[in-house]
Amino acid sequence: MAAEGVPRVAVCPGSYDPVTNGHIDIITRAANIFDKVVVGVANKPVRKEKTLFTGEERREFIKEATTGLENVEVEVFSSLLVEFARDQGASAIVKGLRAISDFEYEFEMNQLNKKLAPDLESVYIIASPNYSFLSSTGVKEMATFGGDVSDLVPGPVSEALSGRLER
């Protein structure tokens, strides 16, 4: 149990290349549960190829989309996630879960992170039905071929995608 008066902090980590409305939904719901949520933009996710947007661009997109959420901060990190979480004073890592296909990867990450930091709890929020199909990769693929993604990502992301990707 958190000591009285000590704020409960969670980190919401991800590559966010780019952030989608599904991510914003998870961040918003996490912000309703925790006193403070620090969105952690992984600067160099090992399993992803080169990112489309820089860490700073990805951070700006999220900052802009979460301006109405007073207890949300956004930081870029290049360290281990558990170290970032400790630096932020977090007691929990919050991640979104869509379909069963997410489970295997999240299960592995959970076990690795737990081994490194047993005191840090991972918490999973199930994606809202509206967003259960939504991924950054899918959005990039749609935008590459001129598909309209304006319902799927924040406005500035949609604009940036069409400028950068359209073939």
DSSP secondary structure string, 85-118?
Answer: HHHTT-SEEEEEE-SHHHHHHHHHHHHHHHHH-T
96 binds ligand PNS (CB under 6 A): no
Stretch 97-116: interaction string toward ligand PNS, x if CB under 6 A: ------------x---x---
138 binds ligand PNS (CB under 6 A): no
Count Cα neighbours of 59 within 13 Å in the Cβ-side half-sphere. 13
Stretch 37-56: interaction string toward ligand PNS, x if CB under 6 A: -----xxxx-----------
CA distances from 76 to 11, 35, 62, 126 (A): 12, 20, 11, 24
What pairs with residue 125 in β-bridges? 96
Q: How far is CA 34 from the centre of its chain?
A: 15
Report in angstroms how near the CB of residue 1 gets to ligand PNS at its nearest. 26
Both tokens of 92, joined, read: 């929990």
Report in angstroms how near the CB of residue 83 gets to ligand PNS at its nearest. 8
Binding residue for ligand PNS, selected from 12, 15, 34, 85, defined by CB under 6 A: 15
Binding residue for ligand PNS, selected from 14, 22, 55, 154, defined by CB under 6 A: 14
Q: Which residues bind ligand PNS (CB under 6 A)?
A: 13-15, 42-45, 77-78, 80-81, 109, 113
